[in-house]
Amino acid sequence: MPLRRLAILALAGPIAVGGCAGPSPYASNDASPAAVATQSPTRAPSAFPSPTAPEIPGVVLLAGAPRDTSAVAEGDVSAVTAADIDFGLDLLRQLDGERNEPNLAISPTSIATVLSMIVAGARGRTAGEMIDVLHAPFEGDRLHRARNGYDRIIRERFATEGVDLALANQLFGQPGTCTPTFVDTMSREYGAPLATVDFTDPEPARALINRWVADHTGRRIEELMPKGSIDESTVLVLANAMHLDAAWRYELDPELTHQAPFELRDGTSVQVPTMHYDWSLPLAQGDGWTALELPYSGDQTSMVLLDADLDTFLRKLDARRLREIFGKLAMSGIHASFPRFSMTVHSSLRKPLEALGMRTVFQPASADLGPMGCGKHVGVIEHEAFIEVDEKGTEAAAATGAMIPGSHGPTVAFARPFLFFVRDRATDAVLFMGRVDDPRELASD
């Protein structure tokens, strides 16, 4: 079965003094965070090198330091990926406790990338709280080098037939509004050059940023920044976009899909379109939980479905335990079933991040973004996610391996709320995670 689309987008916004401003598809994932900073009283002349060839129509890119391509210690990358899992699970739990709607999807990698970019421009208590909430294993240059290495490793690993991953980081601002040191760090460690934007004319600037986001999310997110999110006081927007297109290694037969019961969180049973197959796939089972891995083309990436009593299981889940579950996955002939679903989830992240302990960066009177030089505090952080799981393959999908019958194995049914994780199998990095509580109205046509 193919995950047809998983698209995730995040927007983070640091806002300056007195200001407030505001983030395709086959197995498709999009993630795009962005940060917005308001205008400083004066604008210094550009302190950056000459423009490079623009990648955005009509926009000049000002090059900072060249991208650092030196090797990064494997242990540092592993520590960052584990930190992203712990951060993502914390955020998932916090959102689950605050939201009234069922179903959640986030990209911890996308959100953590933008927050780490802000950390590069923060200091003191502001930076300390952010590092703690992110579970960041390091501070300073070592953290940013590790994130750089992680980003480059993932890009290289996804360069395989049937899997297309696009990662992009970008600064939008006016030259001279940020310190050269900050812009160099963004360019060197995050591959995020500064695109010159005239925020004194807000609507064209907003349209340009929305176009960049749309281009990097398979047109799945067309209106990232709503009207009013940018005004004349804006000086900087930081953005990250992630777009994953990946075919399942094995497709499902849509003729086997039929209505089957699914138990909702309140114990109510409803009928939902449910997919079935008999294959040999990685399976792990433990005390009260079952994990099933669905590989994508090339076998380097997968989606792991995790069935458990989530109200108790999720409270105790952390990176160490999740990686132990991944490590127990072993090939088994099975009959499996799980619902077809599609969801779009928008989450405002400021309150949950504050609840997790990231408070000072949002306070105009106490936030310290001095090293950034172009912004006084963070105003809003928005995250939008889209995911679609069905029997179909991607537009360029083709099965890359033989299907192995598994009809004599156990029956595995995902017929109650479950978790999902999009995972890089070699590094155990989790690019996307979420929970499905109610597949009704989520089933793709």
pLDDT per residue as tens digits for the range 208-232: 888 887 887 777 777 777 777 777 7
Q: Among the listed ranges 31-35, 91-95, 232-236, which one has the minimum average pLDDT value? A: 31-35
Q: Which residue has the higher pLDDT, 336 or 89?
A: 89
Residue 19's pLDDT is: 32
Q: How far is the C-alpha of 24 from the C-alpha of 216, rounded, in Å? A: 8
Residue 334 has pLDDT above 80, yes or no: yes
Q: What is the mean pLDDT of the chain?
A: 78
Tally: H helices and E strands in the chain: 9, 19
- Residue 86 CA, chain-centre distance (Å), reads 14
pTM for the whole structure: 0.83
- When comparing pLDDT for 37 and 254, which is higher? 254
The reported pLDDT for the residue numbered 161 is 57
Q: Describe the chain by its helix, strand, coil percentages, rounded to 5.
A: 25, 35, 40
On whether the CB atoms of residues 183 and 171 are closer than 8 A, the answer is: yes
Nearest-angstrom CA–CA distance, 388 and 257: 16
Residue 380 has pLDDT above 90, yes or no: no
pLDDT of residue 44: 32
Pairwise CA distance, residues 163 & 315, whole Å: 33
b vs e for 79-110, b when ≥16 Cβ sit within 10 Å of the residue's Cβ?
bbbbbbbbbbbbbbbbbbeeeeebbbbbbbbb
d(CA 304, CA 199): 43
Dmax (CA) for the chain in angstroms is 72
End-to-end alpha carbon distance in the chain: 15
Answer whether 281's CB lies under 8 Å from 334's CB: yes
pLDDT (mean) for 66-80:
95
Query: Is the pLDDT score of 247 beyond 80?
Result: no
Please choose, from the candidates 64, 268, 261, the residue with its C-alpha nearest in 3D space to the C-alpha of residue 170.
Answer: 64
What CA–CA distance (Å, rounded) separates 35 from 190? 14
Give me the pLDDT at residue 388, please: 72
Structure tokens at 406: 């598994």
Q: Which amino acid appears at position 161 of this protein? A: E
Q: What are the structural domains of the chain? A: 5-247+343-387 (3.30.497.10), 254-341+396-436 (2.30.39.10)
Average pLDDT over residues 270-292: 92
- Tell me, what amino acid is at 299? D
In sequence order, the 6+-apart residues with CB closer than 8 A to the CB of 345 are: 101, 103, 104, 105, 106, 384, 385, 386, 434
Q: Concatenated DSSP letters for 26-65?
A: BSEEEE--EEEEEPPSS-PPP-S--EE--SSTT-PEEP-S
User: What is the pairing mode between strands 28-31 and 341-348?
Assistant: unpaired
Is pLDDT of 100 > 50? yes
pLDDT tens-digit map of 122-158: 999 999 999 999 999 999 999 999 999 999 988 887 7
Q: Token pair for residue 245? A: 């297109």
d(CA 340, CA 445): 9
Distance CA 62, CA 47 (A): 10
In whole angstroms, give the CA distance from residue 146 to residue 232: 35
